[in-house]
Amino acid sequence: MSVLVYVEQVEGKFKKSVFEAVSYAKAIADQQGTSLSAVSIGNVADSELNELGKYGASKVLKVEADQLKNFVNQAYAAVIAEAAKKEGANIVVLSNSFSGKGLAPRVAVKLEAGLIDGAVDLPTGDFSVKKTAFSGKAFAITTLTSANKVIALNPNAFGVKENHTNITIEAFSPEVKSSDLAAIVKEIVRATNKVSLPDAEIVVSGGRGLKGPENWGMVEELADLLGAATACSKPVSDADWRPHSEHVGQTGIAISPNLYIAIGISGAIQHLAGVSSSKVIVVINKDAEAPFFKVADYGIVGDAFEVVPKIIAALKAH
Ligand code: FAD
């Protein structure tokens, strides 16, 4: 019995959410009195794989094959399940990222495992885990009674915890069925160099109060100064002011950054569903009665076109 964590790479590098997943998996391994292995798929340098030892992984299975160079849901799930079998792991941890959301249920089916997605805390004694439910509007405590368990951890929920461990790297070449490679991603073209929204620690978000796409310059400038990702409300992406990939909420992405700055967004329940687990919420709205103020940690009642340039000027002055 051991714990396995899948470490998702992007262009050969691990993001913070991976180190969070490793830290979380290590804490579970310690609870269970067992060791932690990781599985990495795709081309990752050994120096990057060694980083996983900082957070408690004692072994990493390195899977490198041409047909697995780019992410393929079905094939990656098969590899993770084979890695779990090889390591005798009955608990598999992944990050609940875009790809993690697709992988976790597939891995669970392959291992006949119970699944918890959107976990935000460690399991308690009877393996009950707190997780987000109803599009982030509530928390649920779910108990896994199955022998095998798959847990997808929400980004920014657990934090990164250093736990230096000697790590060994082992090549692993499981057989992948051709049916798992029916669809192959040939090339991934990066659309932007900006901070990725699901992993961002700070998010600057705009709503219909910003009047039109021509006014997003100040949102982007503020985001750049803070090292933040940009997001928006649904009507904004519906109107093509911003790309749909930035739409947060019940029908968009659910995020939980350390700081969420909402500019000209009313705070409708469907929007809050995707952002209410942010650690600190700052609302800028000219209507003091806007519902968003009820969940805000800090609020500025004022015209965004006056307030935001002043914040930008103050940040530049520092
Ligand atoms: P508005 O509601 O128009 O609010 C604009 C705000 O800007 C107002 O509060 C106003 O006071 C303020 N404002 C105006 N001018 C200024 C200014 N100069 N300075 C400062 N403040 C200003 N919405 C989402 O966002 N995400 C979702 O995932 C989502 N899913 C949905 C699913 C369903 C099934 C349904 C029915 C709706 C969904 N919606 C979603 C839509 C949601 O109900 C709201 O209509 C939407 O969130 C409102 O967007 P908004 O706050 O940008 O716009």
Q: What is the pLDDT of residues 125-151, one digit of tens each?
A: 899 999 998 877 789 999 999 999 999
Q: What is the pLDDT of residue 191?
A: 64
Residue to mutate (ligand 1; options 219, 253, 269, 271; most atoms within 8 A of CB): 271
Sign, CA torsion 49/31/108/137 = negative
How many C-beta neighbours within 10 Å does residue 175 have?
8
ipTM over 0.90: yes
Is 106 known to sit in a ligand binding site?
Answer: no
Q: What is the pLDDT of residue 70?
A: 83
3-class secondary structure, 271: helix
Is 242 known to sit in a ligand binding site?
Answer: no
Q: Which residues make beta-bridge pairs with 216? A: none
Q: Do 31 and 3 form a contact (C-beta atoms < 8 A)? A: no
Q: What is the pLDDT of residue 192?
A: 64
3-class secondary structure, 92: strand
Task: Tell me which residue has its CA closest to atom 2 in ligand 1.
Answer: 266
Distance CA 221, CA 276 (A): 24
Segments of the chain with pLDDT less than 50: none
Distance CA 297, CA 233 (A): 19
Output the ligand 1 site: residues, CB below 6 A: 207-209, 233-236, 249-252, 264-266, 268, 270-271, 274, 284-287, 290, 303-305
If you ran DSSP here, which 8-state letter would residue 66 be given?
G
Q: Do 261 and 312 form a contact (C-beta atoms < 8 A)? A: no
Task: Tell me which residue has its CA closest to atom 35 in ligand 1.
Answer: 270
Written as six digits, the tokens of 9 are: 């790479």
